[in-house]
Amino acid sequence: MSITRSRSAVDAVLLGVALVWGSSYLVAKELTTVAPVLVVLALRYVISAVALGAVCLVRRVPFPLGRELRVGVLLGCTQAAVLTLETFGVATTSATNAGLIISLTIVFTPVLESLWSRAWLPVPFFVAAVLAVLGVALLVSGHGFRAPTVGDVLMLAAAAVRAVHVSLIGRLTRGRQHSSLSLTTLQAVGGAVLLGATAGSRLASTVPHLSFVDWSRLIYLALACSVFAFLAQTWAIRRTSASRASLLLGTEPVWAVAVGVSLGGEPLKALGLVGAALVIASTSWGQQVERRHRLAVGTPAPQLVLAGDG
């Protein structure tokens, strides 16, 4: 295979990951109309954990012990918090809004990293961050300026917690020989246990009433948006540059808008369209500013793997 064809294949895989993540908001929203949010989350995690566990067995990945086990459990808790906020949020806002608001993680994460390291980002990055927030304000205004919905606020909280989760992944795994597959599997198992216990008796009362379509959506969320996304992006990132991977994975909000409007029939009026464009443009700009600054000062690249967060 030529270098050009190989690069095209890698790009296609990364765009596929961004697409399934972008589509996950509409799928999750549709599921929350037929089952309680905690049941949807618990079943998604259980299916993901079983599938990832099978992959670990096939690859003969050793069971993590000591620090790796503790890190996996902690990241499982933060990831469960992100998905819980996201799913409760998308249940009460549009999939389009959800996909765009969560993209603020792209600007929240570097800000959090700079606070922890006390290495401040350049002024243009904060200009991009302000423009991104302004874009969200226009987006949630809909037909006119109004207060954001509860779902919009929950998605904003999810973006902030996701930034913490991503930063923790980078800080806790940097310089360590931890297996990415083991950590991701631990996160899925931890989430399955935590959310399964929280859902409790509602699981038993809901499962018998789920239709074939409902199960198809759950399997899509678990296998496509979690298992496939993790394995595919891990394969692709090893075959391309971090900058190119970030750019392609950063198209997630674009796909969220496309899926929400075309398949979900969600309206996007003029004001919301301007806000959506501003969010996408400013987060992309902020990402570029942060990358150039990081390369200039020689700091490590942020963690790219957001397995199961989409």
Which residues touch 212 (CB under 8 Å, ≥6 apart)?
A: none
pLDDT averaged over 10-residue windows placed end to end, the chain, 310 residues: 64 85 91 93 94 90 84 89 92 85 80 75 81 77 64 90 83 76 88 91 90 95 89 75 67 82 78 80 79 68 45
Task: Give the closest residue to 236 by CA, choosing from 5, 9, 1.
Answer: 9
pLDDT for 307 equals 37
pLDDT for 306 equals 40
Contact 47, 222 (CB under 8 A): yes
- Give residue-wise pLDDT tens across range 147-184: 678 888 999 899 899 888 888 877 787 777 777 788 88
pLDDT for 305 equals 42
d(CA 172, CA 60): 24
Q: What is the pTM of this model?
A: 0.82
d(CA 42, CA 47): 9
pLDDT for 266 equals 77
pLDDT for 51 equals 94
In residues, how long is the chain?
Answer: 310
Look up tokens 């389009």; give the residue.
96
E strand intervals along the chain: none
Give residue 115's identity as a one-letter amino acid code.
Answer: L
The number of helix segments (H) and strand segments (E) in the chain equals 14, 0
Cβ neighbourhood burial of 86 (10 Å; 0-12, 13-18, 19+): buried
Four-point Cα dihedral 182, 185, 190, 192, nearest 10: -170
* Radius of gyration of the CA atoms of the chain, in A: 19
pLDDT for 6 equals 65
pLDDT for 303 equals 47
Element (H, E) at 24: helix 3-31
Tokens read off for 56: 């670990």
